[in-house]
Amino acid sequence: MILDDFVSFDEKGLYCKYGDFYIDPQLPVKTAVISHAHADHAISGNNNVYCTRATASIMQLRYDRTAAKVFNIAAFNQPFEVGRVTVTLIPAGHMLGSAQILMEYEGARYLYTGDYKLQPDATCEPIEWVTTDVLITESTFANPAVIHPDPVSEIRKINDIKSNILLGAYALGKSQRLINLITEHAPQKKILVHHKIMPINAIYEKMGFHPGKYQIYGRKLMKVQDEFVYIVPPFTFDSYIRATGVKRLFASGWKNLQVNNQDTLFISDHVDWNDILQTIANTKPKQVWTLHGKGEHLKAYFKDDIFVKILN
Ligand SMILES: [Zn+2]
Ligand SMILES: [Zn+2]
């Protein structure tokens, strides 16, 4: 039987009272199950954290001693108990170590997707499918108007750019995926990375995921026009707003983060509308509960077929 109150929001985040834990809490809690290491999901200061090894490594890099009191490292597809709930982490395909959180309680299955994507990405574990009674999905781009273009065609656009490129991207996940895509699909480009991205690359490599060919940025390197692509985090990208002699691009699924209407690079690590429909087809839920976004489109689309509840 599906319990309508299996998870609910309070001021600290999404809470499961049957297991007495929070999922990706927004404030420090006693027990947290964390889907992946992006800062909007993985905060510091929790007591007891359940997550994958990669997520723990990245949290330790970012937060050092305050990362968590105790890390309980869970391997993918290995069930464990939290309170009275059986929890299993399933690869989500979003970034290295990212997990969907399958929760089983009294015969019902609840699958929290976290952030996830279906597009191939050589820098993380590919998404895996399990069936569920309730799909608790992020719905950032759950709008029929949002269809992400093919990332390979997108990255190939940089082959036509002959000047050096300043490429803005989130340091964690997106930067490694871009290094990989450029190495594969624009191999003549020389990739330089900002120093803040280097320790993250090191964790990826330690876990056996080598993003590709790159070197650390040096001031003298970009003095000449020579197929350089310099990958920088958003803050640095914004501070170079008046940079001359470079083409500026920002890699994102969001229209409003693109530099302008001409210079676009639509590469997203989230599902688009078609991917969400595919996910629902694959996981076969009786109910869909939506988070972070646009649940109303799914509600209208499935009308009487699948019960859709907007959690937030
Ligand atoms: Zn994320
Ligand atoms: Zn997120």
Ligand nearest to the CA of 98: 1
CA dihedral 276→291→269→61, nearest 10 degrees, is -150
Cα 121 to averaged position of ligand 2 atoms, centre (Å): 17
- Report the distance separating Cα 101 and Cα 112, nearest Å: 5
Cα 41 to averaged position of ligand 2 atoms, centre (Å): 6
Cα 226 to averaged position of ligand 1 atoms, centre (Å): 33
Summarised one tens digit per residue, pLDDT across range 156-211 is 999 999 999 999 999 999 999 999 999 999 999 999 999 999 999 999 999 999 99
Cα 24 to averaged position of ligand 2 atoms, centre (Å): 10
Ligand nearest to the CA of 36: 1
Summarised one tens digit per residue, pLDDT across range 107-139 is 999 999 999 999 999 999 999 999 999 999 999
Cα 225 to averaged position of ligand 2 atoms, centre (Å): 36
Summarised one tens digit per residue, pLDDT across range 227-279 is 999 999 999 999 988 888 899 999 999 999 999 999 999 999 999 999 999 99
